[in-house]
Amino acid sequence: MLTRKVIEAYHLDKGIECEAPFLEHGSIQLRKDQYVNRDVVKFYCGNGYTRVGPDAAQCYHFGCTPLFFPERVSSCQQPLNISNGILVGDLLEVYQHGEKMVYECDVRFAMAGSNTIECVDGEWTSLPSCTEEEKTCGPPPNILNGYPVSVDSNIYWHNETVKYACEKKFFIVGTNPARCLHGEWKLPECTKLCPPPPQLPNAINITEIRNYKNGEEVGFTCVEHFLLEGTPKISCEYGRWQTPPRCIDLSFVSSETCPMPTDESIIFSTTKPVALLEEKTLFECTDGYESISHTRGGQAVCTLNGWSPKPQCLLIECETPFLENGSIYPRKDQYVNRDVVKFSCMRGYIRVGLDSAQCYHFGWSPQIPSCKDVIQTYHAARSLYIFASK
């Protein structure tokens, strides 16, 4: 085992810089544009996440440490039962760090505390409790355009449920079955279906003729030599369709105009189907894409020769990372914007650098770590310690 003095002697270098650390689902203090030798950062996790590992790291010539012997998290045994409640789902023999389980109280009992527990390094977070609820609900009421399927009592206890159904051409939105909670019914709603969407003149007909639920969308595409003006998709909103677009005949469009490109990776600052000569427009790339100049978007001008420069957004890709004497997860044929990979070293090797990296438009960040031979690292540190002790 490396002693603290040996490790300290191993990192006497001056003028060293470290890559900015990255903590998924958390934050880092102190935030700087540049980290140098002996800088110390503190780690904090976001809501719903628990830190596993040290709460601080210091910059050395090989990166931030502690990184010599990464901690291993422990698994959890089956969670305990609670009085007047049950665990939802199938039970396992062992649960890994980060896995969660949900509790549900029996009828007539209300839950105190979170209904979800999490395995954190071998220990379950605090269990909830179920206490008796004396408030009751009366018979479940009818709802607008809907009704309870079966009512077999005048009194319903906390957590009891009743299923609801809607009249013809309406459908359920919300909780179904309805549930009695603390003396009041939590009821669903019945919403009217939208009729089949309109068929636009000079557009490709929508082949699926049916009624649509609230929130469902349909898209439109114009036939050849026609240009779509307006939004390409409309939604069903409580029985009515949003205003549809229209298809404009290009033969009536002046030659001194530029049609807006229809690439789905580009969002324009205007919804007009064409731009006039010398007119400028801003565009933005959708998530996962970038402009040719490696920015989020840009500006284009309508000229006699068309758009200048041509609005274009390219898929953000990163090269497949390679870790000598280690492995990378997940393995993919293609890595794109926001993909995250994890690194681990083979037995007998130790990771120098962070354990994960994310794909950005400029490449992987933080940089890919390396796997160093543990024995060689020890001897190198011991030699430096002897040299520094003279």
Residue type, 10: Y
Whether 296 maps to a domain, the answer reads no
> Domain boundary at 157, 192, 227, which?
192
Residue 343 has what pLDDT?
92
> Is the confidence at residue 377, as pLDDT, over 50?
yes
Tell me the Cα Rg of the chain.
31
Of the residues 70, 95, 110, the one at which a domain ends: 70
Tokens 């030798």, residue? 37
152 in the same domain as 125: no
User: Looking at the structure, do residues 11 and 65 belong to the same domain, yes or no?
Assistant: yes
Report field, pTM of the whole predicted structure over 0.75:
no
Dmax of the chain from CA atoms? 91
Same domain assignment for residues 41 and 22: yes
Residue with the two structure tokens 């609801």? 164
pLDDT in tens, 97-120: 878 899 999 999 999 999 999 888
What's residue 5's pLDDT? 36
91 and 44 both lie in a single domain? no
User: Which pair of structure tokens corresponds to residue 332?
Assistant: 């993919």
Segment 240-291, tens digit of pLDDT: 899 998 887 776 555 567 888 878 888 888 777 778 777 888 888 888 888 8
Number of domains in the chain: 4
Same-domain pairing of 110 and 153: no
3-state secondary structure 16-27: CEECCCCCCCEE
Which pLDDT belongs to residue 133? 94
Checking if the pLDDT of 96 tops 90, the result is: no
Cβ-Cβ contacts under 8 Å for 376 (sequence gap 6 or more)? none
**What's the mean pLDDT when you consider all of the chain?**
81
pLDDT value for 256 = 63
> Which range marks the domain in which residue 23 is found?
4-70
N residues, the chain: 390
Contact between 258 and 250 under an 8 Å Cβ cutoff? The reply is no
pLDDT digits (tens, 9 = 90+) for 135-163: 999 999 999 999 999 898 999 999 999 99
In 296-317, which positions are buried (b, 16+ CB within 10 angstroms) versus exposed (e)?
ebbebebeeeebeeebbbeebe
H or E element, residue 8: helix 4-10
* Residue 150 domain-assigned (yes or no): yes
Q: Is 350 inside any structural domain? A: no
Whether 21 and 58 map to the same domain: the answer is yes
Q: What is the CATH number of the domain that holds 228?
A: 2.10.70.10
125-139, 212-226, 301-315: which is most confident: 125-139
Judgement on whether residues 62 and 13 belong to the same structural domain of the protein = yes
- Indicate whether 380 belongs to any domain: no
Using one digit for the tens of pLDDT, what is the confidence trace for 190-207? 888 888 898 898 898 887
Distance CA 199, CA 327 (A): 54
- Which residues have C-beta within 8 Å of that of residue 36, sequence separation ≥ 6? 15, 16, 17, 18, 59
Helix (H/G/I), strand (E/B), else coil: 228: strand
Contact 94, 107 (CB under 8 A): no
Taking the alpha carbons of 340, 346, 347, 352 in that order, is the dihedral positive or negative? negative
Mean pLDDT, rounded, for 51-73: 59
pLDDT over 60 at 233, yes or no: yes
